Amino acid sequence: MACGGIANEGFDPSTVFEKASGWVKERVHDERHFTARWLKQIEEATGVNRCIIAQSVAGIVTLSLCCAQQPFFICNGVLVAFPCILLFVYPEECPKKEHLTIYWVCFGILTALDGALKKLPGYYHIKLLLMLLLFVEPFRLVDKIEKIAEEANRRNNCENTNDATRTAKSDVMRATKMKSSPKEEKKKEESAAQPAPPSQETLALPPEPLNGPEQRPAEAAPAPVSEENKPAEASKVDSREKEPIKEEVKQENEMPKGLLSPSIITDQSRTETKSPTQKTAVESFSTTDIPGNSRFRGENPMTNNRSYRLPLTPGVDNKDIEPANNLRDLIVFPTEKIVFNAPFDFDNITYHIKVTNNSLHRMAFAIKCNCIPRIICYPPHGILASKETIAVAVTCQKILEFSEGVVKDDRIAIEYVIMSNKDQRKEFTFELLHSSETRCRKNLAIEYNP
């Protein structure tokens, strides 16, 4: 079972084991997690190494599931206790609501199958392992399930939109027919009531001879039309026929630019109405499209590593930006916020920020965010030489259902430390941030302009 970058490079057991063990070690040593803080307190109280304590707890749980008469209570008790502790005691460490919902749904499905599968040997070990794989790197099954649910939701929305479009079109056509039918009937009635004008042949016929017994008074024959008068009369008729056409053309010419009559709007007219000087919109590009930058292959590390996540709390504004006010500091531009413009459901939107190391020493930095995967950055971490400047791409993923209440607190934070001159490592690790007591932070608010 491989996912993320492993799926792109092929299944490598050593890589999977390395990432999984790294995830476990992070929960044991990284004090941002409550498990590491609890193990530290036990270590200080007993003097036993925290690694040995963690291994002992895992062994006790494993043996209890094998030997206990009611392993049901032990397994389900562990699976309920941990999310409840995160939800009510340490809410800042709790996963986002979508992942927590997926966890409870999976737990409910497996618990409903306990009665039928509990006789299988090692069933509760398998259940505990499956629930653990929802969040363990590099598997992160919760992300896979979330993507499947989002894709299904997107397809459902597209089908509903198509149905609504078809219904709206049929309603418009029906209303157009209802509006046009009375006018057409009225025109037909008026044309039927008016007598037909005499033809030129009828006007040119001579009068009937008076040979009958009853002689009626002779009617005056119409005066012959001269050849000189015929063009004038024809021109008058033509001018009357052309007047409505001229008025229609004049009305179309007087319409505001960019607007066309509904009856003549077609794909061809849309393309033809563009002026030759009008510029087409340029698609946004990533930092990997900038010359000299290497393209990142695989899944962005921000989507599968909790080290890049921030708690859902407001940030701190940054004021000083000039190099004179930021000696031996990191300069980030823009300094206060990034604004993404709508539409948000059309395509991914990417803007760039400039990060400069204005100090005389090397710096290690990592970009964290409280709204992953809605907002991700690349590169998410790195080591900057003195006076070095890089461009960081900040990408807003597609937002199918935009809500101000959900995105109002979105922000990113750049955490950084000044490295010692003795430390010449070239690859970034979070150990650089955790081992330094002078870790600094720059906050950038994320705003959305709908």
State mean pLDDT over 177-199. 58
User: Is pLDDT at 213 greater than 50 in this prediction?
Assistant: no
How high is the pLDDT of residue 4?
A: 42
User: Is pLDDT at 42 greater than 60 in this prediction?
Assistant: yes
Q: Which residues contact 391 (CB under 8 A, 6 or more apart)?
A: 287, 290, 293, 352, 353, 354, 355
Cα(23)–Cα(28) distance, rounded to whole angstroms? Answer: 9
State mean pLDDT over 265-287. 41
How high is the pLDDT of residue 111?
A: 92
How high is the pLDDT of residue 195?
A: 57
Establish if 319 belongs to a structural domain: yes
Mean confidence (pLDDT) of the chain: 74
Measured CA to CA in angstroms, residue 168 lies from 165, 173, 175 at distances of 5, 9, 10
How high is the pLDDT of residue 233?
A: 45
Write out the residue range of the structural domain in which residue 56 sits: 5-148
State mean pLDDT over 133-140. 88
How high is the pLDDT of residue 69?
A: 84
Instruction: Using pLDDT thresholds of 50, 70 and 90, give the confidence band for residue 194.
Output: low
Establish if 127 belongs to a structural domain: yes
DSSP for 85-96 reads HHHHT-GGGSPP
How high is the pLDDT of residue 183?
A: 54
How high is the pLDDT of residue 363?
A: 92
Establish if 399 belongs to a structural domain: yes
Cβ atoms < 10 Å from Cβ of 242: 10
Instruction: Using pLDDT thresholds of 50, 70 and 90, give the confidence band for residue 287.
Output: very low
Establish if 159 belongs to a structural domain: no
How high is the pLDDT of residue 433?
A: 85
- Last residue in a domain, options 94, 114, 148: 148
User: Is pLDDT at 431 greater than 90 in this prediction?
Assistant: no
Q: Which of 132, 146, 178, 176 is nearest to 20 (CA)?
A: 132
How high is the pLDDT of residue 296?
A: 53
In total, how many domains does the chain have? 2
Instruction: Using pLDDT thresholds of 50, 70 and 90, give the confidence band for residue 267.
Output: very low
Say what the alpha-carbon torsion angle 371, 377, 380, 384 is, to the nearest 10 degrees: -130
Establish if 355 belongs to a structural domain: yes
User: Is pLDDT at 239 greater than 60 in this prediction?
Assistant: no
- Last residue in a domain, options 148, 183, 200: 148
Q: Which residues contact 219 (CB under 8 A, 6 or more apart)?
A: 207
How high is the pLDDT of residue 254?
A: 45
State mean pLDDT over 200-218. 48
Helix H or strand E encompassing 267:
helix 267-272
Residue 389's CATH number: 2.60.40.10
How high is the pLDDT of residue 57?
A: 92
- Which range is least confidently modeled, 61-70, 198-207, 209-218, 249-258? 249-258
User: Is pLDDT at 313 greater than 70 in this prediction?
Assistant: no
CB 385 within 8 Å of CB 357: yes
CB 303 within 8 Å of CB 143: yes
How high is the pLDDT of residue 255?
A: 41
- Last residue in a domain, options 92, 126, 148: 148
Q: Which residues contact 74 (CB under 8 A, 6 or more apart)?
A: 61, 64, 65, 68, 124
Q: Which of 113, 119, 115 is nearest to 131 (CA)?
A: 113
Establish if 396 belongs to a structural domain: yes
- Which range is least confidently modeled, 220-229, 373-382, 421-430? 220-229
Q: 49 versus 243: which is more confidently predicted?
A: 49
- Which range is least confidently modeled, 79-88, 114-123, 207-216, 325-334? 207-216
Establish if 21 belongs to a structural domain: yes
Establish if 278 belongs to a structural domain: no
How high is the pLDDT of residue 417?
A: 92
